[in-house]
Structure formats: structure tokens, C-alpha cells
Amino acid sequence: MAAITDEQVETVRALVASVPSGAVTTYGDIADAAGLPSPRIVAWIMRTDSSDLPWHRVIRASGRPAPHLATRQLERLRAEGVLARDGRIALAEYRHTF
DNA sequence: TTGGTGACTTATT
DNA sequence: TAATAAGCCACCA
């Protein structure tokens, strides 16, 4: 089985790192840009690989970060200029496309 | 090998 | 808008 390649992981990291402050992106976008077969893979990379990358700029398609990190990420994003409405981020406004 | 789990997405109700 | 179901891929015990 192909499993995932280091290159794919590195691509994901590069994409996340390329997201400017004040902008956010979704797992699906990263997965698509990195050529990953499923967005879940992106989540797996984040969970396993703890890097200095701004993971807080990566949110779900619903415009809402993960439940356990939501509070932290939302606060961090707010500090960067990403205003959340009712705990939800305006993807249409802050979504960063590659 | 099998089954359970997860920082997901989309579609349907 | 929220809740549920199914699909999806990789990791771990």
C-alpha cells in the first residue's frame, strides 16, 4: 500500500506555513493542494507531527476548529485579526486559497 | 488481520 | 441551524 509519503507531509507543512497571518485554510484545501486522498490524512499529520507550524490557521470546512483546540485557536486567530462570529470563522472572508 | 479511533467532509433528515 | 449517517485513509494495540 502506498501509505503516505514524507513528501506529502512536507507539502502539507509548507502549505500551512504559507498561510499568512490573518488568513485561514481548511483541511480539504490542504489535502487537495497536497494531493492527499482524504482530508483525514491532514488531520492525522497534525496530530502526529507536532511542529512549530501555525496549525491554528487550519480549520474545518464548517468554519469551526476542533472542539478541544477551538478555544485556543479562536483566541489566537482573533489576535491575528481573524474575527470569529459566534465561535465560527467567516471562511468566505479569511479562507486562503493556494 | 481485525477492530477501534481521529485535529474531516459531504449529504441527508 | 443542528444532528445523523456514510465514506474516507492511516495509525495503533
Helices (H) and strands (E) in chain A, counts: 5, 4
* Rounded distance in angstroms from the CA atom of residue A64 to the C1' atom of nucleotide C4: 19
* Topology at the third CATH level for domain A6-94: Arc Repressor Mutant, subunit A (1.10.10)
Model confidence over A2-27: pLDDT tens digits? Answer: 688 989 999 999 999 999 999 999 99
What are the grid coordinates assigned to A29, written together? Answer: 484545501
Integer Cα distance of A86 and A98 in angstroms: 27
Going residue by residue through chain A (98 aa), what tens digit of pLDDT does each one get?
Answer: 568 898 999 999 999 999 999 999 999 999 999 999 999 999 999 988 877 889 999 999 999 988 888 888 899 999 999 998 888 899 989 999 98
Checking each nucleotide's C1' against the CA of A40, the nearest proves to be B8
